Each structure stands twice: as structure tokens, then as C-alpha cells.
Chain A
């Protein structure tokens, strides 16, 4: 064996190792916990001790107990509203971004993405202080004479969760919409104008339909991030802002019922997978043509 063969052999072994590692890391850190969850969801708890014998009691409880399903559906509705609101706010911003030229586009894009670099908890506190009794929102409304005493409508309830999640997740909606707007060839807008369409007609008939794949992925993006979030509802939701994420959190924490928490997590994961599948389905149906 020559020196060259040794080197080649060694680099080949290194490559093999890298490949194995590349597949093993996600396998170990993502799939294994998921599998563990799935397994735990079929166990039960007796006086604080986990009973390791398979049962579907946890799932039966979710589907029969009158407490959980309403919260589950309410959370889905909440996150759907967050997704819709985010898209409504993000679309004009993305449209504005595509209209910018050269350096300004990068500057604005970076400014929009800066919040993503900040700590999530700090951002929640910031939004909470805006929405609170002495917050910017209340003081503005008071100054404008719309209300006469500070309103508590915006904190420690579902409204607060809705508003906070929307504010925090808008950047995630801007990017996919911006990217899909960017892929629309300029020639199509020219062709539309050439055929006699006004700017508004061009937007409604060409730009908007062609950007719908981006809207679909933005919505599924935001929905998934919102439904998995337990921190925001915990911090701004108060007593009435109870969401599915908080229930799961309480099962692992206060209730110390890991198997039931695992079962609820599996249901949440299934919901997330459905949302992603729906989003990419809508995306593919549009782009297939």
C-alpha cells in the first residue's frame, strides 16, 4: 500500500464517517425523541409512577373528556387567525420590498429580519408592555379619546395571545411571500399592461394569483410556529388565554402526567404535519402548471 493509497483510504473513511454522522445526528436528535414520545403516549400513570404497559387510554381521554377538544379547536382557530393576520400584514410589506431597488432592498430586508435575532422572551415582554394597562396602545387610545379608562382587553386573554403571536411571527410570513413575488417575471406585468390592464388589474389578475404559493407557505409556516408555542400564551394569556401548548406544558410540569402529555404532543405533531402537508399541496397545485 503506497502513501497515496493510505491518504485516499483515510479521506474515504472520513467521507463515510461524515455521511453517517450527517444522517445519524438528525436521526438521533429528532427521530429518537419523537419515537420516545410516541411510545410514552401509550403508557399510563398511577400515583405519580409511570406504568409501562401499553394502553390507548390517553387518546380515549382526549377524545372523550369535554375539556380538551374545545381548547384544541380554539387553539387551531387562534393560530389560523394569527396566520391570516400575519399574511395580511406581511403581503403589503413584501410587495413594497419587491418594488425597492438595489441597496435599499437589502437594508429594509435586514431591518425586517433583525427581530429574529433577538431573544423570544424579551420580544414577548416588549409586546406585553405595549399591550398592557399603561402601555403604548392604551395611552394612544386614551389620548385619541376613543376610550376613557385603560382597557384590559389587550392583556392576559386570548386577544393578547393573538396580537403578540402576530407581531412576533410577521417576519416569517414576509420572507416566503417576498420570495414568491420575486419569481414573477417582469415580462408578465409588462404583458398585462400591454394588453390594457390597469396597475390594480395587473395586481389582482397576475401578481396576486402567482404569489399564492408563497402565501400558502407563509400561512403554514406561521400556523406551525404559533401552534407549537406555549411561552407566549403562558406570558400574556393570563387565566382565559389557555391554549393547547399550555395544556401540554402543564401535563409535564404541574400534573406530572408524562404519558398523557406525550399523547397530546403526538396529536399536536399530527396537526402540524397536516398543516405543512396542506401548505405544500396548495403550493404544488399552483406551481405545477
Chain B
């Protein structure tokens, strides 16, 4: 029944609240030992998925399987999953130790084992000396680590994390991202992490599941999702991107052309067989990341397949990189951006320059419109 390596399976899972559909038939395989992130804007249904898996709420339809066994009707306290809540949900009347021990104690674990496992878990999250304190006496980051230890100590099959870093400030959040990732690598437990922050998802996940409006848009590695978006939503949701609308042209090998208002562009379709099948003339976007675009002189020649004449509109310094905003000469309604490595002496281009934007076919991907 169960595919090898698959821990948890969601099949056509639906959910609605008060007549409004929140999830429209979600299919998801969670692999054993992976760090999977469910990413989406608020209202996309990502937290609902977590709540359904955790057993906090029941799906309207579909089923949830663990190791191939249907667990849709199993109550929350009998599922081998533990949750790290967004607001920590630590028990205020219990010490850190008692909080961490809670899951073991209610299951009747022998006292000696509880003591040892709690000490180990607190050591793992570097809170060894804080065992006797109360949650109110800890900082936000420390409480977060207690919440993590409380889940880890139960040795669940899956740890569900509900935007656990949302309440922390930026510096602490980055620190906790690295920390969570290292803990996961050490204990090799499957983590299902829900967030609305793309950078957080890219920084931590083995796989990202992008959601929008109750549907999964794309599942893949951060690299895949970033460079090979499967739809317009994913292409625009992650960071800065250039989208040029057009109509599909003929396919040749791993490449396919697209007719746009800026001329014919050549794009790679390597690893995307479905795109080779799409009929000629169907609407699509050519996408290219700003960092893949090279800015050259207006008259210059180059090796890159795609070349667009443009005028620099604005140059914005952004620390490590500088972003150049340009308008295409053939169709000024299309704004393009290219990022340059920042230099101490300042940018080589400035507003008003006529330039050629060039990018390789390998760096350009097609997205169905």
C-alpha cells in the first residue's frame, strides 16, 4: 500500500468552514525524514492542512494516511504527531522541565526515563540550565525552543510547525531558522513547517509546497520552485522575477520559442515535458530571474540567445546587489529588472542609458498563462 519512503499521504482532502471551501482536493505526499514547508499567503489553506494532519479538525472529504493506514478518524491525542504552535502554547503553571515532560507523563512513561529524555531534549535545544524556570521567565526565542523540545521529546513520526518563527524579530528568526534546520538534521524526524515567508521556506526546506486559494500550486525543491515555477502565481510569489507574456512557438529538443511583443525568445523546457506538448499559439509567459540578466551596451554583441533593447529607468542600490529597472524599447509597457553585483565605486549603469539586456535560453523558463 504505502510507497517506499512516504510517511504521510493526503488524498483529495477537502475542507470548508461555514459553506466556504478552504481546501479544494489537496494531494500531498510527505516523505520520511524530510523538511517540507507549506508556503502560501494568508488564507491559502496552509494552516488548515496542518490542523487536519494534527487532528485538530476533521476534513470534509478525502483521506489522510500514515504508512498507508487511514488515520482520518483517529483522534488528536492518538496521532503520533506533535505540534509546535505559533504562540508556543506552553503551560504557564508548569516549569520548563514539566512542560517538556508533559507528553511523556500523560502517556505513563516511567519516571526515570522521563527524567533522562527531558534532560536530553533540553540539552538538544541548549536549554539545559533553564529546566526549573517558568515560561514567563524566558525570552521569546527560549520559549520557542521549549515548545520544540516538548514536541521532540515524544519522538513523534512527524513534527508540525505552525509559523513558529512569526513572533520573533528578524535577527532571532534567522538564528532560529539555522537552529531548527540543524536540530532536524540531527534527529532526522520529519518536519512539516507552515509559513508565509518565502525566504524562510527557501532557507530551510528540502521541499516546498506552494499553496494558493486552497490549492497546491507546485511541490518541489527550493531550487526547482525558484527557477522552474509551474504557474504564474509561483513565478511571482518568490522574490523578484521578470514575466514577459506571449504565445508559444515551435519546440526543438529541450528548447521552445515564444512570440512576445519584444520579439521571439528562446526558453529551456528541460525537465518540463508537459510544456513540450502544449499546442503552438497557446498563451504563456517567459520568465527570467533578474540575476540571470546581463546588461550590455546598446550596440554590443554577445553569446546569449535572448537580447532585448531597453532603456534604464531607475537604479536602486540594495546592499550586496543593485537592481536596475528598465523599459523595453519595443514595448515600454513591459518593465524588466536586472540585478548587478554592487561595487564600491558605484553602478556602471545609470538612469536613461540605452542598453541591451541579454540572457541565455537556459536561464529562461516558460510558464503557462
Contacts and interface: CB of A to CB of B under 8 A. Distances in A.
Interface of A: 185, 187-188, 190-198, 201, 205-206, 209-210, 286, 289
Contact of B89 (A187, A196, A205): A187
Given A195-B154, A209-B93, A289-B92, A201 B106 contact: yes
In this complex, the member of A193, A197, A205 whose beta carbon has the largest number of chain B beta carbons within 10 angstroms is: A193
Contact of B91 (A188, A196, A286): A188
Interface string B82-93: 110101011111
Interface of B: 54-56, 75-78, 81-83, 85, 87, 89-93, 102-103, 106-107, 134-136, 150, 154
Given A205-B102, A289-B134, A191 B107 contact: no
A286 B91 CA distance: 12
A210 B89 contact: no
12 contacts: A185-B87, A185-B89, A187-B87, A188-B89, A188-B91, A190-B76, A192-B91, A194-B83, A195-B150, A197-B102, A197-B106, A205-B106
A-B residue pairs, 10 tightest by C-beta: A195-B103, A191-B89, A187-B89, A197-B106, A289-B134, A193-B76, A194-B83, A193-B77, A209-B93, A201-B106
A205 B98 CA distance: 11
A185 B134 CA distance: 17
Nearest to A289: B134
Given A187-B89, A191-B90, 5 more contacts: A187-B85, A190-B89, A192-B106, A193-B77, A196-B78
Nearest to A197: B106
B134 A195 contact: no
Given A187-B85, A201-B106, A194 B77 contact: yes
A194 B91 CA distance: 13
B93 A194 contact: no
Given A190-B85, A210-B92, A195 B106 contact: yes
B237 to A, nearest CB: 29
A196 B77 contact: yes
Contacts of A197: 77, 102, 106
Given A190-B56, A289-B134, A195 B93 contact: no
A191 B94 CA distance: 13
Contacts of A209: 93
A191 B135 CA distance: 15
A241 to B, nearest CB: 40
A187 B47 CA distance: 14
Contacts of B93: 209-210, 286, 289
A206 B87 contact: no
Given A201-B106, A205-B102, A205-B106, A194 B92 contact: no
Nearest to A209: B93
A201 B93 CA distance: 15
A289 B106 contact: no
In this complex, the member of A194, A197, A206, A286 whose beta carbon has the largest number of chain B beta carbons within 10 angstroms is: A194
Contacts of B81: 194
A289 B82 contact: no
A209 B92 CA distance: 10
A201 B91 CA distance: 14
Contacts of B82: 194-195
Contacts of A193: 75-77
A197 B104 CA distance: 10
A188 B88 CA distance: 9
Contacts of B85: 187, 190-191
